[in-house]
Amino acid sequence: MILSKYPYVVQKEILDHMGYNDLFLLSFASKNMKKFIKSSQMSRFQSCSFIKYTCDYRDEPWICVHYGKIRQGIMRIVKREEDKNDYFQLNVSGKTIDFRFKRVDQNIRFPAIENSYYMYPFAAYQETEKESVIK
């Protein structure tokens, strides 16, 4: 399936059905894709009230987008688990950061997302580089 073979309206419609966390990861696929996301989802991004960086009771930062009365998570930032080997690396603003997916039950924390659970991106940091990863 070649996404670029679809007409613009179809590509936009597909992106319209993606959550912010999936769009965030899709933007790393290529520079052109990032440009396309920015241009096609402009009205959606403009409807964002704010992006919240917050910490939960475990002192683990997480980032979510608020639009209207709905909030949708983009990612969490957690301490790297050395026993896990399913990390993939992404270059975020010039810094290479390890990411992995973790199953999150939607009913507990993120009521805005459709399925009862979904795979959620977690950025991981080594203790020494915690601050730089969060930045």
Contact positions vs another protein (CB under 8 A): 1-7, 9-10, 13-19, 22, 25-26, 28-33, 88, 90, 99, 101, 118-120
Min dist. Cβ of residue 30 to another protein (A): 5
Give the torsion sign (CA, 30, 10, 3, 48).
positive
- 39: Cα separation from own chain's centroid: 18
**What's the CA gap between 129 and 111, in Å, rounded?**
32
Of 1 and 108, nearer to another protein (C-beta) is 1
Min dist. Cβ of residue 106 to another protein (A): 12
Instruction: Report which of 3, 41, 2, 1 is spatially closest to residue 19, judged by C-alpha positions.
Output: 41
Min dist. Cβ of residue 44 to another protein (A): 13
Min dist. Cβ of residue 28 to another protein (A): 4
**b/e sequence 71-102, b meaning 16+ C-beta within 10 Å:** bbbbbbbbebeeeeeebeebeeeeeebbbbee
Of 110 and 120, nearer to another protein (C-beta) is 120
Of 4 and 128, nearer to another protein (C-beta) is 4
Structure tokens at 113: 């997302």
Structure tokens at 75: 């990612």
Of 19 and 61, nearer to another protein (C-beta) is 19
Min dist. Cβ of residue 103 to another protein (A): 9
Of 1 and 57, nearer to another protein (C-beta) is 1
